[in-house]
Amino acid sequence: MTSIRAFRVVVTGLVQGVGFRPFIDRLARELGLRGYVRNIGGGEVELWIEGPEGSLDEFLVSLIYDKPPPAIIEHVFIEEEDSRGYEDFRIESSGESKYARSNIPPDLATCDHCLHEVLDPHNRRYMYPFNSCAWCGPRFSMMYRIPYDRENTAMRKYKLCSECEEEYRDPLNTRRYHAQGISCPRDGPVLGLFNKDFERVECKDPILEAAKLIDEGYIVGVKGIGGYHIAALATNDDVVLELRRRKKRPTKPFAVMGLDTNVLKRLVYMSYEDELLLRSPQAPILLLPKRPDSPVSRYVSPGLAYEGVFIAYTPLHYILLLNTRDKFLIMTSGNVSGEPMCKDEDCARRKLSKIVDFFLVHDREIVNRVDDSVVRRTGGDYVIIRRSRGYAPTWITLMFDLNGEYIAFGADIGNSGGVGFDNRVVLTQYIGDLDSLAAQEDLLRYLEFLVKNYHIGESTKPIVVVDKHPRLYSKTLGVFYAKRNNLDYVEVQHHYAHVLSATIDLEISGRVVGLAIDGVGWGDDNTIWGGEVLVVDTEKYGYSRIGSIRQLPITSDRDTYIPLRILSSYLTMRDFEWSEIEKTLKAIKTPPSRIPEAHAAHSLVVRRGFTPASSTGRLLDMIMAIIDPAAERTYEGEPAVRLETLGVRGESAVSIDAYRIVSEAGILRLDYSGLVDWVLENKLKLDPYTMARSFLYSLGLALGELIASSVRGLRVDEVVLSGGAAVNELIYRGLCERLSQEGFKPKLPRRVPPGDGGLALGQIVAADLLKREQKI
Ligand SMILES: [Zn+2]
Ligand SMILES: [Zn+2]
């Protein structure tokens, strides 16, 4: 007779809200095992199994290999126990005991099975816009709290009908047994069509009617799972321009949603790998190269080489697109310029009525705003530009335990905050730019969501972490939060946090050299930094700044909006007289109307009214101003994005070696004046594509040279890249080319964005190093 043994097993990872308990239940029953499975507070899964030894072994193997598709198993703790003589196996209600803390499930794109049901005329969920199962559907966006049980979500107001109830209770129903979010046409959320004043439009089928209206050229607000989108024809220039006018968004690209990847293949070039990513449970917006014969209006992403595309990731979007003529639409965030996307009817009524003609709205509450995630490629690998739906708030596991608990506020552009505890860092979803009050409120709100659900501060006093910049909203908010809650706060230098974030994301330990290239970060010498070579040590707080790019003068905020001002200031700092600057500006065909702006900046520099900035972002802006003196910034990073686009379209690059590495006040500086002069001299000789390509590639080589010179004689094993400019394809190629000669392959972070959206990770780890050294 085989012996009966018993195990208590705790599984951590992404195991709640992904059909894990029902899977365990089915597996145990199949193998004739007894015991229970339950979610435990904080969100892990605990199970008790007892039975014959052979079956237990089989169970433990299947646990890992046959898990539901969206589940991620990080750790399995197994303890042998004495058999308790359970009679059967069951799913128990969630426990209150706090064993450990676990992942909050992110929103998951519709799975193929659910889509199949929606398209099956004989299925009772035929054309049902809210179909979901244990493997797919909204999660975080509709959760009030953890654990993920129906009564903790916005689905609690929809009582299951008898058929759904039966599916929910049937252990043989793989995808609906104990699936918390399920519903059907009889009991689920209800859709309605409204005019822009939110008066109901009577019609037989709101989705079909909305599709018809969109085909006729109307602009329709669509309530999705994480917020409102604005849907409009992508093929009609007039519609696209009207949307731009109403949204006050002259050039910022709109994302395009396609029915599926086959539809998108007519718009963009797509590899098999891209297709898998687009169809993954995360289903991000992916920036892919446009096809020359793409039917999409050129005003959708004017002047750019890439289209941001994603697939219909809910049945609602799928049915809507299926009934349109084109099968793809503009699907852009439902917000007013500079503010967060609307997630409720009140916001939509107040803010979107001026933009849309109609609203397609369902009656399920969106609890947490979740924007679409954005992914691009740099150097052939995917980089997350915006980490939100599908990714957030999945935690990041560290290779070490933190020495305390932390609440980090990130920085102001494309903000995400985060909390740190145990060996985890949990970043909020994408909050956005913090210059609107609504975004600032969201940052506090979503940090507090994490604080509450992860019990931050219940056993130890957390430390608040902010950026050093005295004028950032994120800093003001963090300091306010710390004072209100009687907590200590620490300031972490921006680029140090960037480099640490990339290092930790890549699971590198030891001494690392990092290049942080971005727009504006507050430096420890009270100047602005943004082109920095730092050496950091993952075992020790602090960094040494060993290299930087030469400074340019920043005279006011207007410089970021009108890049020509930077060119004028820069030439002034190089001792050019105004008459020479004016001559140069005329030579590069500056519109006469722009000359006064350039002169104003010049005068400020002459009167020493500027802050020196080693900002790569402003350098790129300035180069764009030479190529197009009328260039303006209407969205974050626009000149740099346009410059990269020109460069990517260029066919050949001249390797410009007119740069120098100079020693200045104890660090090495990249003097790029020769590169700037080259662009000025070739403005009338070369096409903009070749110029942009040559400049960016050569800047990459030059930055590689700066790193190589700076680390000479130092012991470093790895080079990491961070900052918004680090994803630039051509700079990256130049860097790789030069650094390969030194035996380095520079690496970009993979799990968090290299921009400010990943900053909180570095802030938390920096604060932890300080704490470990007992400096706080
Ligand atoms: Zn499904
Ligand atoms: Zn039902």
Asked whether 528 and 613 are in contact (CB, 8 A), the reply is yes
Tokens of 144: 């009030």
Ligand nearest to the CA of 185: 2
From 38, 39, 335, 565, the catalytic residue: 39
How remote is the CA of residue 274 from the centroid of ligand 1, in Å?
21
Give the C-alpha separation, 21 to 649, whole Å.
51
Does the pLDDT at position 99 exceed 60?
no
Asked whether 389 and 136 are in contact (CB, 8 A), the reply is no
Cis-peptide, bond into residue 147, ω within 30° of zero: yes
Report helix, strand and coil shares of the chain as percent, to nearest 5: 35, 25, 40
How remote is the CA of residue 543 from the centroid of ligand 2, in Å?
58
Q: What's the pLDDT at 75?
A: 85
User: Strand, helix or coil at 297?
Assistant: coil
Give 663's strand partners.
Answer: 668
Does the pLDDT at position 95 exceed 70?
no
Tokens of 28: 């145990």
Token pair 């084109």 is found at 326
Burial of 457 (0-12, 13-18, 19+ CB in 10 A): middle
Q: Strand (E) positions, 468-609?
A: 489-492, 511-522, 528-537, 540-549, 552-554
415 is catalytic: no
pLDDT band at 457 (very low <50, low <70, confident <90, very high): very high
Give the C-alpha separation, 496 to 722, whole Å.
10
Of 342, 362, 385, 126, nearest to 247 by C-alpha is 342
How remote is the CA of residue 533 from the centroid of ligand 2, in Å?
59
Give 52's strand partners.
Answer: 4
DSSP state of 719: E
Ligand nearest to the CA of 108: 1
How remote is the CA of residue 214 from the centroid of ligand 1, in Å?
28
Give the C-alpha separation, 341 to 334, whole Å.
5
Tokens of 87: 């009679």
Q: Which residues contact 106 (CB under 8 A, 6 or more apart)?
A: 14, 139, 140, 282, 370, 389, 390, 391, 392, 393, 394
Does the pLDDT at position 98 exceed 80?
no
H/E run at residue 72: strand 72-81
How remote is the CA of residue 22 from the centroid of ligand 2, in Å?
19
Asked whether 105 and 180 are in contact (CB, 8 A), the reply is no
How remote is the CA of residue 446 from the centroid of ligand 1, in Å?
27
Tokens of 346: 């009140």
Ligand nearest to the CA of 134: 1
Asked whether 38 and 93 are in contact (CB, 8 A), the reply is yes
Residue 137's Cα: distance from chain center in Å? Answer: 19
Does the pLDDT at position 111 exceed 80?
yes
From 21, 176, 377, 550, the catalytic residue: 21
* Residue 325: CB atoms within 10 Å: 11
Give the C-alpha separation, 630 to 564, whole Å.
8
For 9-42, b where at least 16 C-beta lie within 10 A, e where not — what string? bbbbbbbbbbbbbbbbbbbbeebebbbbbbbbbb
Q: Could you report the per-residue pLDDT of 585-635, keeping only the tens digit for each?
A: 999 999 999 999 999 999 999 999 999 999 999 999 999 999 999 999 999
The neighbourhood of ligand 1, an ion, using CB within 5 A, equals 111, 114, 133, 135-136
How remote is the CA of residue 219 from the centroid of ligand 1, in Å?
30
Tokens of 322: 């299926």
How remote is the CA of residue 207 from the centroid of ligand 1, in Å?
21
Asked whether 674 and 659 are in contact (CB, 8 A), the reply is yes
Which of the pair, 429 or 26, is modelled with greater confidence? 429
Q: Which residues contact 125 (CB under 8 A, 6 or more apart)?
A: 114, 117, 118, 131, 184, 185
Ligand nearest to the CA of 176: 1
Q: What is the mean pLDDT of residues 19-23?
A: 88
Ligand nearest to the CA of 182: 2
Length of the chain (residues): 776
How remote is the CA of residue 188 from the centroid of ligand 2, in Å?
7
Residue 67's Cα: distance from chain center in Å? Answer: 27
Q: What's the pLDDT at 517?
A: 98
Of 474, 418, 475, nearest to 448 by C-alpha is 418
Tokens of 395: 């935690």
Does the pLDDT at position 228 exceed 80?
yes
Of 435, 457, 542, nearest to 496 by C-alpha is 542
User: Strand, helix or coil at 131?
Assistant: coil
Q: Could you report the per-residue pLDDT of 125-173, keeping only the tens digit for each?
A: 999 999 999 999 999 999 999 888 899 999 999 999 999 999 999 988 9
3: amino acid identity, one letter: S
Q: What's the pLDDT at 74?
A: 84
Q: Could you report the per-residue pLDDT of 628-673, keeping only the tens digit for each?
A: 999 999 998 999 999 999 999 998 888 999 999 999 989 999 999 9
Q: What's the pLDDT at 279?
A: 97
Q: What's the pLDDT at 400?
A: 96
Q: Could you report the per-residue pLDDT of 368-411, keeping only the tens digit for each?
A: 999 999 999 999 999 999 999 999 999 999 999 999 999 999 99
pLDDT band at 753 (very low <50, low <70, confident <90, very high): very high
pLDDT band at 34 (very low <50, low <70, confident <90, very high): very high
* Residue 484: CB atoms within 10 Å: 8
Of 106, 18, 109, 105, nearest to 310 by C-alpha is 109
How remote is the CA of residue 199 from the centroid of ligand 2, in Å?
28
Which of 5-19, 295-309, 448-462 is predicted with the least confidence, judged by mean pLDDT?
Answer: 5-19
* Residue 542: CB atoms within 10 Å: 15
How remote is the CA of residue 70 from the centroid of ligand 1, in Å?
10
Helices (H) and strands (E) in the chain, counts: 23, 29
Asked whether 254 and 372 are in contact (CB, 8 A), the reply is no
* Residue 480: CB atoms within 10 Å: 15
Give the C-alpha separation, 686 to 142, whole Å.
54
Q: What average pLDDT does the chain have? A: 95
Strand 611-615 to 552-554 pairing: antiparallel
21 is catalytic: yes
Tokens of 467: 């950026």
* Residue 707: CB atoms within 10 Å: 27
How remote is the CA of residue 278 from the centroid of ligand 1, in Å?
16
Which of 81-95, 148-162, 236-250, 495-509 is predicted with the least confidence, judged by mean pLDDT?
Answer: 81-95
Q: What's the pLDDT at 101?
A: 75
Ligand nearest to the CA of 110: 1
Does the pLDDT at position 96 exceed 60?
no
Region class of 665: left (phi > 0), else alpha (psi between -120 and 50), else beta: left
Asked whether 671 and 661 are in contact (CB, 8 A), the reply is yes
How remote is the CA of residue 411 from the centroid of ligand 2, in Å?
45
Which of 12-21, 642-651, 725-734 is predicted with the least confidence, judged by mean pLDDT?
Answer: 12-21
Q: What is the pTM (predicted TM-score) of this model?
A: 0.94
Q: What is the mean pLDDT of residues 704-717?
A: 94
Q: What is the mean pLDDT of residues 693-714?
A: 96
Ligand nearest to the CA of 117: 1
Does the pLDDT at position 92 exceed 90?
no
How remote is the CA of residue 635 from the centroid of ligand 2, in Å?
45
User: Strand, helix or coil at 41?
Assistant: strand
How remote is the CA of residue 315 from the centroid of ligand 1, in Å?
10
Q: What's the pLDDT at 162?
A: 98
Distances (CA, A) of 46 to 4, 8, 453: 20, 7, 18
Q: What's the pLDDT at 613?
A: 97
Give the C-alpha separation, 582 to 312, whole Å.
52
Of 617, 637, 623, 653, nearest to 733 by C-alpha is 653
Q: What is the mean pLDDT of residues 274-285?
A: 97
Ligand nearest to the CA of 160: 2
